[in-house]
Amino acid sequence: MNKRIGVIVILLVLALAAVLVGIKIKNNIHANKIKAEIDSAVSLASGGSLLEAMDSYKGILQQDIDVNTAKSIYDKIGELNIKILFSPAKTQNNVIYKVQDNDSLDAIARKYNTTVALIKRANNLKSGLIRPGMDLKISTDKFSIIVDKSQNILTLKSGEEVVKVYNVSTGANNSTPVGTFKIINKIVDPPWYSNGKPIPSGDPKNVLGSRWMGLTLKSYGIHGTTDDSTIGTQVTQGCVRMHNNEVEELYDIIPVGTEVTIVD
C-alpha cells in the first residue's frame, strides 16, 4: 500500500511539474507576442504611421499584460498623442480650414481657441506667413490640466481623454494652492524677480526656466526649471515646475483661458 501511495505521489508531482512547465511556456509565448506587438507599434510610429501605431498600442492594452508593461504603453501613448497633435495627421478633434483673404494665424487661432504655435507645428509651417487657399489642420480639442500634488504629476486632457501625463514639482510643505484656476498669461523666457530686481532668463538664479504660464491666482503659475533633479518632488515656492522641454511642449498646446485644477 505504501509503495502504491509513493507511486501516486510521484505521478502527481510529475503532473504538477508538467502543468507548471506548460504555464511557463505559455507565459513566455505570450510575453514574446506582446514584445513583438510593441516593437511593431514603435516601428510604425518611427515610420510616420502615427494613427496605426496608436491603434496597435490600444490593442495591446486590451490584452493580459503586467502593470509595468501597461504603464510603459500609457507613456508611449502620451508621447504619440503629442506627435499626432504636432503632425498633419487627421483625427476627429480637428478641422481642415481653408485660408481666406486677409486671414492671419492669430485670427484663426482665436477663432478656434487654439494657439499659433500648435497650428504651425501641425502644418509644418516655418513662419507665420500663410496664403489664401491653403488648407490648415486646426485643433478643436478643449484642453484642460489637472495637477495632483500627492503624486507630483500634471495630466493634460482633451475633454475626458488623457493626452499625456508629465512629472512635475509642486510646493514645499504642500504649499501649492488647491482649486480650479485658469491660465491668464504666457511668457517665453520669463524674467524672475528677486527682492524687486529682475533676473533675466538663462541666469542660473532665474528658477522659471524657459516658459511661464500664469494662473488666475496671483504669483502662481506653471513654469520650467534650472534644476531637472528637483522634478518629482515638493520643493517649489508654490508653483508647478516642469522640465524645460516639456513645459515648452505644453506651452505650445494650451491657449490662454485653459482650466487648471490642482488637487491634494
Which of 239, 242, 250, 253 is an active site residue?
A: 239
Please list, residue by residue across 252-263, b when 16 or more beta carbons sit within 10 angstroms of its beta carbon and e when fewer do: bbbbeebbbebe
For 236, counting Cβ atoms within 10 Å of its Cβ (0-12 exposed, 13-18 middle, 19+ buried), the class is buried
Distance in angstroms (rounded) separating the CA atoms of residues 105 and 83: 21
Q: Select which of 137, 186, 223, 243 is catalytic.
A: 223
Whether 148 is catalytic is: no
Residue type, 138: I
User: What are the cell numbers at 192?
Assistant: 524672475
Q: Which residue has the cell 501605431?
A: 53
Alpha-carbon distances of 42 from 37, 70, 152, rounded to whole Å: 9, 15, 28
- Identify whether 165 is a catalytic site residue: no
Four-residue CA torsion sign, 219, 240, 211, 214: negative
107-129 burial by CB neighbour count: b if 16+ within 10 A, else e?
ebbeebebbbbbbbbbbebeeee
Q: Which residues are catalytic?
A: 223, 239
